[in-house]
């Protein structure tokens, strides 16, 4: 690859020029856009002291991840060990190939509802295929450098589906928290609510007691001793309580067969029809993984003063999801809470995330049989806290108080559709609604007007009213983007046909689409019929390119495209004189 030579004087390159050239190169290709895993960069200055800190952080995060991974696996409708497989495989691969220094990946609550739906409808083969396809989509997004584009997903949609997911998790865990016995096995959230109401008479007071004790530990323990994870304490205390007292409460061992075997390679049955059927689910998983992982990266950047590589993070997440699916896991993404715990305990490089995965593997092989004693109400209580921490209710409350009505409509629509239907419908409908409302706002601020009277307080030297306008000339200024939703606002320029020249000033038109170009072409055609010459002033780069591509520049004539309003008025004088001489 040939590089542009640094600037030189008389054949010699000065130190100043070299430094300026380096700065220019760094500006042209920022470090954040490198497709290079962060691990490879940080290892250049890695030290034994930092390894000690990463080791401690990795062990602590693994202890936090243990009950969470089991709980999230159960909420996703899969066996408990599959949550640990996800933490092991995906956690290691994200740390190895990702673009963040401190990201911890694994199963998260955001996927619980969508994964449960896929497993119920299509089995594990459908989930594996969906996750592998999502991983491929994530890698494509990274290689195509889509990392920065995800910021264009409106915050109202992200907040809406996050809150909706939290609601579905809570509803899904009420059965185990209350110890209910369901007559049916509902999948949809609305059906679960109906089944809860139908079976409320089967409430088990002992299960409720264990659940409330678990919640009390989860809420009160961090206030006394934050270093030891509250979820681990809740699991130990309530497991011992059930084991020693013989309370009749469902445990993981009563409902699931637990394996302590390490992850094994699993290849799904792949057909074209299955790929086509799973594509919407894969797209949802990919978008969700991308949004949550990059959000986690942004949060962790603020905590350690670093800068993640968004595109490399997407590639790392893609590799991790493919690996997780092929080794018996479920979809994974960056976990904000575990990442924050990593930072708080001294983790500063991807080595901490790799240690976390190795420790979880050791726990799986050695201690997994003891997980059978964990009461289901305790798992439900842990998921209640996960839902509370992820729902962002303070952000929702602020939006409801301060956001425009259009944003509130998008927010509530996304929440409702997430709960009643699923994320595919919610995200799709939210994006469509947000786009339509944005188009309406842009159309509302776009206008075309003629200057009639000068404002004495106007100090703009380019104000058209402070200039001499030739006779039989009309000057219109367009403000805002010219696109299909606002195309009807320009046609009244032709209402007054008593003119020889029509000057259209476009200095405040940043962009134009095909409908906008067609509207201008229509104005030009009608002016030609009435022997009126159209003159354009100060056309910006994108509109000019679009007009050239449509052939409008050639139709109007290059001499009628002026760089400044003064030039356009001089050209109008020429047109008026020519018309007078006809």
Mean pLDDT of 57-72: 87
Q: Within a 10 A sphere around the Cβ of 412, how many other Cβ atoms?
A: 16
Domain definitions of the chain by residue range: 49-398, 448-580
Which pLDDT value is given to residue 25?
A: 43
Burial 531-552 (b: 16+ CB within 10 A, else e): ebbbbbbbbeeebbebbeebeb
The highest-confidence range among 53-57, 151-155, 317-321, 386-390, by mean pLDDT, is: 317-321
The highest-confidence range among 337-346, 362-371, 539-548, by mean pLDDT, is: 539-548
Report the distance separating Cα 549 and Cα 551, nearest Å.
5
Residue whose C-alpha is closest to residue 332's, from 66, 93, 150, 139: 93
List Cβ neighbours of 257 (8 Å cut-off, separation of 6 or more).
79
- What single DSSP character describes residue 251? B
Distance of CA 103 to the CA centre of its chain: 16
Mean pLDDT of 341-358: 92
What does the mean pLDDT of the chain come to? 84
**Residue 151 predicted with pLDDT over 70:** no
Token pair 């000033």 is found at: 505
Report the distance separating Cα 60 and Cα 582, nearest Å.
89
Which pLDDT value is given to residue 494?
A: 64
Q: pLDDT tens digit string along 282-333?
A: 998 998 899 889 888 887 888 788 899 999 999 999 999 999 999 999 999 9
**Residue 29 predicted with pLDDT over 80:** no
Which pLDDT value is given to residue 382?
A: 87
Token pair 């030739």 is found at: 470
Report the distance separating Cα 465 and Cα 455, nearest Å.
8
**Residue 13 predicted with pLDDT over 50:** no
Q: pLDDT tens digit string along 156-174?
A: 887 888 788 888 888 888 9
**Residue 499 predicted with pLDDT over 80:** yes
The topology (CATH level 3) of 448-580 is Transcription Regulator spoIIAA (3.30.750)
Token pair 């030609």 is found at: 528
Categorize the per-residue pLDDT at 490 as very low, low, confident or very high, splitting at 50, 70 and 90. Answer: low
Distances (CA, A) of 548 to 551, 552, 554, 557, 561: 5, 6, 7, 11, 11
pTM exceeding 0.85: no
The highest-confidence range among 232-241, 368-377, 442-451, by mean pLDDT, is: 232-241
Instruction: With beta carbons less than 8 A apart as the criterion, state whether 378 and 234 touch.
Output: yes
Per-residue tokens: 438: 């944005």
Mean pLDDT of 339-353: 90
Instruction: With beta carbons less than 8 A apart as the criterion, state whether 91 and 376 touch.
Output: no
Instruction: With beta carbons less than 8 A apart as the criterion, state whether 298 and 306 touch.
Output: no
Angle value at C-alpha 187, between 263 and 250, nearest 5 degrees: 65
Backbone angles phi, psi at 9, to 5 degrees: -125, 120
């Amino acid at each position: 690859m040939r590089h542009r030579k640094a600037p030189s004087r008389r054949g010699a390159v000065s130190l100043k020029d070299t430094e300026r050239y380096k700065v220019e190169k760094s500006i042209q290709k920022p470090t954040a856009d490198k497709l290079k895993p962060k691990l490879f960069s940080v290892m250049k200055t890695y030290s034994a002291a930092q390894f000690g800190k990463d080791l401690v952080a990795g062990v602590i995060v693994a202890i936090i991840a243990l009950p969470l991974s089991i709980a999230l696996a159960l909420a996703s409708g899969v066996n408990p060990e599959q949550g640990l497989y996800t933490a092991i495989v995906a956690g290691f691969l994200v740390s190895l190939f990702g673009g963040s220094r401190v990201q911890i990946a694994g199963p998260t609550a955001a996927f619980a509802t969508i994964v449960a739906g896929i497993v119920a409808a299509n089995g594990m083969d459908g989930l594996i295929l969906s996750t592998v396809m999502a991983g491929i989509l994530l890698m494509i997004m990274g290689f195509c450098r889509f990392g920065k584009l995800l910021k264009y997903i409106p915050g109202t949609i992200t907040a809406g589906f996050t809150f909706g997911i939290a609601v579905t998790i809570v509803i899904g865990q009420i059965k185990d928290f209350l110890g209910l016995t369901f007559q049916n096995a509902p999948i949809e959230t609305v059906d679960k609510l109906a089944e809860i109401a139908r079976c409320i008479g089967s409430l088990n007071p002992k299960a409720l007691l264990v659940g409330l004790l678990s919640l009390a530990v989860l809420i009160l323990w961090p206030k006394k001793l934050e270093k030891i994870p509250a979820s681990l304490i809740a699991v130990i205390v309530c497991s011992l309580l059930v084991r020693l007292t013989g309370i009749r409460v469902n445990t993981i061992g009563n409902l699931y067969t637990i394996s302590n075997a390490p992850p094994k390679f699993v290849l799904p049955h792949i057909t074209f029809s299955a790929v086509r059927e799973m594509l919407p689910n894969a797209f949802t998983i990919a978008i969700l993984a991308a949004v949550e992982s990059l959000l986690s990266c942004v949060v962790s950047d603020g905590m350690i003063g670093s800068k993640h590589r968004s595109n490399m993070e997407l590639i790392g997440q893609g590799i991790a999801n493919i690996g997780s699916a092929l080794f018996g896991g479920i979809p994974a993404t960056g976990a904000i809470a575990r990442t924050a715990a990593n930072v708080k305990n001294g983790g500063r490089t991807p080595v901490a995330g790799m240690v976390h995965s190795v420790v979880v593997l050791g726990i799986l092989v050695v201690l997994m049989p003891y997980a059978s004693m964990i009461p289901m109400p305790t798992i439900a209580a842990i998921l209640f806290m996960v839902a509370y921490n992820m729902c962002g209710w303070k952000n929702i409350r602020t939006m409801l108080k301060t956001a425009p009505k259009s944003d509130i409509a998008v927010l509530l629509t996304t929440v409702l559709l997430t709960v009643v239907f699923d994320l595919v419908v919610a995200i799709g409908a939210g994006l469509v609604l947000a786009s339509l409302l944005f188009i309406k706002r842009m159309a509302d601020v776009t206008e075309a007007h003629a200057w009639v009277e000068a404002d004495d307080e106007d100090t703009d030297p380019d104000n058209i009213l402070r200039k001499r306008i030739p006779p039989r000339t009309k000057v219109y200024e367009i403000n805002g983007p010219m696109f299909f939703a606002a195309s009807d606002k320009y046609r009244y320029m032709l209402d007054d046909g008593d003119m020889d020249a029509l000057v259209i000033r476009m200095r405040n038109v940043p962009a134009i689409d095909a409908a906008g170009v067609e509207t201008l072409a229509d104005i030009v055609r009608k002016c030609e019929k009435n022997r009126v010459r159209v003159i354009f002033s100060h056309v910006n780069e994108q509109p000019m390119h679009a007009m050239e591509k449509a052939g409008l520049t050639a139709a109007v004539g290059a001499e009628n495209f002026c760089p400044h309003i003064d030039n356009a008025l001089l050209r109008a004088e020429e047109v008026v004189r020519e018309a007078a001489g006809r």
